[in-house]
């Protein structure tokens, strides 16, 4: 893997509009594109920003790191016989860990591409394009850049801020910037996006509601940064303002079927405020690999290949489901004996043989009527931000620093998420109830670790205790009975190290430290 400073310099010379998504616009011949004849029309801007929604830029982070960090590190999932995953799971992470390195490099890949598009529009876009269209395109790129920096801040805290790739030519050695300034960049980018993106767009494109929903999430996160016991009330109020605006004024509602949210025919339903726009059949290095790599059997993968990285379910996560929570349970995890008629449908469906991830497992090429589908490129457009997430953010922002709340608005949106799942409403909210609901609703979407880090900012002892009290073992399931697997048996997790406050910050990848020793210095202000 190339260090980020070398990688970004290389990307300066890459075409900013390669690999656009068919669902947005058709792509003209690459041989007809140059810096002199591009960015001349609004359609050119739309083509450039379409490239930021998936493809090779997102591939490394998405394939290698999003679920291991979001759901493996947090205790939801485990993958056997994979040393880097075992480090993540057992809290023995080294600076050589490939999952950690891929997250860093992959996120900066996307940031570099966003920077290229933003700066090209600002410097090269034709004067004939309206300011509104230019700002909307820049808003798309800034939204996606903000999502990447948000993940970097959650995972590492202080990281280098790069808004102009060309500056790396003059000086490729960068200091890390203080975490509060990283979050400031995130809120600045999202505020610009919220002010300049339209209220409606074609399916798959982000809108002002996407940006405002993400702003609610970010403000909820930074409300606890540097606090002790209580979060900043002004920042909680900002979280409530933006999340509440989405909930009350967007005109959006939860998609009726939780199960169908994660199937290809229902890609980009209005609930998906931001989803990566993957294409099926594009091959290695440019597609969504989850359905092919993480599947429990090659009978439900494209071309009968793959399924060598099955994502197993922990006993701790299994225990989060109540007896009534069957809709989300079966849509999210498979238990031995579960039958899925839509998977390998030509052979009568698939019956699970072990507890494993179901979400994102969409079946083979016949199930999806896509002969070109391969194990490297699932056509599922997985959501990075859903309306249900914003509903729960709004409820938590209303709860704020209170121990409990029976606020009618908070309960309305919190219970809307539960009602879709077919589970009973609650009458009182507290922090543990909200955190547990988020864990279940957003499982295997890379979110639970983010929630735990947010908690660690202002209540580290509770966050640490949650990790240390987890039943971090795998299990078998037969005739309705779950039996835990002894540590280290059959590729299961080894002994897990106790969590400390340091567990919530990843090490800087060794390759980055070697190429840029300044990363080891104390972080400095950016603003």
DSSP state of 181: H
**Residue-wise pLDDT tens digits, 31-46:** 455 556 799 999 999 9
Residue 452 lies in a domain: no
Q: Apex CA 411: angle with CA 406 and CA 416, to 5°?
A: 165
H or E element, residue 275: strand 272-275
Tell me the residue range of the domain where 138 lies. 4-15+39-252+507-520
pLDDT (average), residues 506-522 = 96
Mean pLDDT for the stretch of residues 421-450: 98
| Distance from C-alpha of 185 to C-alpha of 169, rounded to nearest angstrom | 22
**Residue 348 falls within a domain, yes or no?**
no
* Mean local confidence (pLDDT), 232-261: 98
Round the average pLDDT of the chain to a whole number and report it.
93
pLDDT on residue 490 = 65
Identify the bridge partners of residue 386 per DSSP, sorted by sequence position: 272
> Is 126 part of a structural domain of the chain?
yes
pLDDT tens column, 391-418: 999 999 999 999 999 999 999 999 999 9
Residue 294 pLDDT greater than 60, yes or no: yes
Number of domains in the chain: 1
Look up the CATH number of the domain holding residue 88: 1.25.40.390
- Mean pLDDT within 166-194: 95
In this structure, is residue 513 part of a structural domain? yes
Task: Identify whether 187 is part of a domain.
Answer: yes
**CA 235-239-245 angle, 5° bins:** 140
Q: For residue 11, what pLDDT is reported?
A: 38
The rounded distance, in Å, linking the Cα atoms of 431 and 401 is 9
Q: Give the per-residue pLDDT at 36.
A: 64
Q: What's the rounded Cα separation, in Å, for the pair 303 and 298? A: 8
Work out the burial of residue 131: count CB atoms within 10 Å of its CB; fewer than 13 is exposed, 13-18 middle, 19 or more buried: exposed
In tens, the pLDDT along 452-498 reads: 999 999 999 999 999 999 999 999 999 999 999 887 666 667 789 99
Tell me the mean pLDDT in the region 147-173: 94
The DSSP secondary-structure symbol of 498 reads: P
Element (H, E) at 356: strand 356-357
- Label residue 210 by pLDDT band (50, 70, 90): very high
Cα angle 502-468-102, degrees, rounded to a multiple of 5: 50
Q: What is the pLDDT confidence band of residue 27, given thresholds at 50, 70 and 90? A: very low
Q: Is the pLDDT of residue 10 over 80?
A: no
In a domain, 194, yes or no: yes
Q: Is residue 244 part of a domain?
A: yes
Question: Which pLDDT tens digit goes with each residue over 227-241?
Answer: 999 999 999 999 999
Domain assignment of residue 401, yes or no: no
């Amino acid at each position: 893997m190339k260090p980020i400073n070398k990688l970004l310099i290389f990307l300066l010379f890459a075409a900013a509009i390669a690999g656009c998504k068919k669902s947005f616009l058709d792509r003209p011949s690459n041989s007809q594109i140059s810096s002199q004849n591009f960015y001349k029309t609004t359609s050119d801007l739309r083509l450039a920003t379409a490239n930021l929604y998936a493809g090779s830029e997102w591939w490394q982070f998405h394939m290698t790191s999003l679920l291991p960090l979001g759901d493996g590190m947090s205790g939801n999932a485990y993958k056997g016989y994979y040393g880097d995953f075992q480090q993540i799971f057992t809290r023995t992470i080294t600076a050589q860990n490939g999952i950690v390195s891929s997250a860093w490099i992959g996120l900066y890949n996307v940031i570099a591409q966003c920077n290229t598009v933003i700066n090209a529009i600002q410097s090269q876009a034709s004067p004939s394009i309206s300011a509104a269209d230019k700002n909307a395109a820049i808003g798309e790129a800034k939204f996606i850049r903000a999502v990447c920096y948000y993940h970097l801040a959650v995972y590492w805290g202080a990281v280098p801020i790069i808004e102009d790739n060309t500056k790396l030519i003059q000086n490729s050695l960068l200091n890390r910037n203080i975490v509060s300034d990283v979050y400031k960049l995130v809120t600045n980018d999202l505020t610009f996006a919220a002010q300049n993106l339209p209220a409606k767009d074609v399916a798959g494109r982000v809108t002002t509601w996407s940006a405002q929903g993400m702003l609610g999430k970010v403000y909820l996160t930074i409300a606890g940064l540097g606090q002790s016991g209580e979060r900043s009330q002004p920042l909680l109020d900002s979280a409530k303002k933006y999340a509440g605006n989405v909930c009350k004024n967007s005109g959006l509602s939860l998609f009726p079927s939780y199960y169908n949210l994660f199937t290809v025919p229902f890609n980009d339903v209005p609930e998906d405020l931001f989803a990566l726009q993957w294409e099926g059949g594009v091959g290695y290095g440019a597609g969504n690999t989850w359905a092919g790599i993480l599947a429990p059997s090659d009978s439900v993968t494209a071309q009968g290949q793959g399924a060598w990285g099955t994502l197993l379910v922990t006993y701790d996560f299994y225990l989060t489901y109540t007896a009534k929570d069957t809709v989300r349970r079966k849509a999210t995890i498979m238990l031995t004996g579960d039958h899925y008629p839509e998977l390998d449908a030509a052979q009568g469906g698939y019956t699970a043989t072990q507890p494993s991830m179901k979400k994102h497992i969409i079946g083979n090429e016949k199930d999806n009527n896509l002969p070109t589908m391969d194990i490297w490129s699932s056509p599922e457009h997985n959501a990075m931000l859903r309306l249900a997430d914003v509903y729960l953010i709004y409820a938590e922002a209303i709860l704020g620093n209170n121990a409990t709340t029976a606020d009618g608005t908070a309960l309305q949106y919190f219970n809307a998420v539960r009602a879709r799942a077919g589970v009973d409403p609650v009458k009182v909210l507290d922090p543990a109830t909200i955190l547990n609901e988020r864990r279940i609703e957003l499982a295997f979407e890379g979110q639970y670790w983010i929630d735990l880090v947010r908690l660690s900012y202002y209540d580290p002892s509770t966050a640490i205790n949650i990790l240390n009290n987890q039943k971090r073992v795998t299990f078998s399931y037969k005739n309705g009975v779950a039996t835990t697997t002894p540590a280290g048996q059959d590729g299961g997790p080894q002994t897990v190290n106790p969590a400390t406050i340091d567990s919530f910050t990843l090490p800087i990848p060794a390759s980055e430290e070697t190429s840029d020793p300044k990363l080891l210095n104390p972080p400095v202000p950016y603003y």
